[in-house]
Amino acid sequence: MQQNIFKIRQAFLIPFMAVIFLLFLLLLLSIFKGQMREGVILSVFFVVVLFIGIEMSRREIVLTEDGLKIKKFFRLKEFVWTEITHLGIVELRKKIYFLLTTTKGFYYFSNLAENHALLIRSLIDKLGDEKVEPEVKNYLERPVERLSLIVMSWISVLVIIGIIILVVVSLN
């Protein structure tokens, strides 16, 4: 059985995982420095960002001959093609959300997925023209890549590295 798996873009996951690692280093430094409040705040930030990172790394959309699977953190939603009733789109500048209406509820995914244009083309092929909004087909003529989030992630990495350098210098 052929299946296509679409995950969150590696270009976003790599800096996000770097942020998690750097937050952990910052947490260790704050523990050794002895600032209790700082350690507690950094622990909360680290745990929240860690759970978000785990969820993003496990999130995937799987297209098979029989249907669609949406895997999220500890959840799996499976649909056969007849259960999907509508595919729509919401455009907010460079943020694009694809809305999937099924007999089991509403689901959405963004253009942050790796090779999302192929994902949408595959969905259109499986669903047929009657279930797909014309705006979705128009989007495929000019797909938008969401690069600002990737850039912001790398900036976050640089900011945390700067903070770590300042903490190390202040320890001496």
Q: Which CATH number does the domain housing residue 143 bear?
A: 2.30.29.30
**Burial class of residue 76 in the structure, from the number of CB atoms within 10 Å of its CB (0-12 exposed, 13-18 middle, 19+ buried):** exposed
Q: Can you say whether the dihedral through the CA atoms of 10, 13, 18, 24 is positive or negative?
A: negative
Radius of gyration of the chain (CA): 20
pTM of the model: 0.82
Digit-coded pLDDT (tens) for 49-73: 999 999 999 999 999 988 899 998 7
Q: Is the pLDDT of residue 34 over 70?
A: no
Q: Say if residues 111 and 95 touch (Cβ distance below 8 Å).
A: yes
Digit-coded pLDDT (tens) for 83-140: 999 999 998 887 899 999 999 889 988 888 888 889 999 999 889 888 999 999 888 8
Q: Which residues pair with 100 in a beta bridge?
A: 87, 107
So what's the pLDDT on residue 172? Answer: 67
Q: Say if residues 137 and 120 touch (Cβ distance below 8 Å).
A: no
The span from the CA of 26 to the CA of 78, in Å, is: 40
Q: Write 117-122 long-range contacts (CB < 8 A, 24+).
A: 117/143, 118/4, 118/6, 119/4, 119/6, 119/61, 119/63, 120/87, 122/4, 122/63
Number of domains present in the structure of the chain: 1
Domain around 7: 3-171
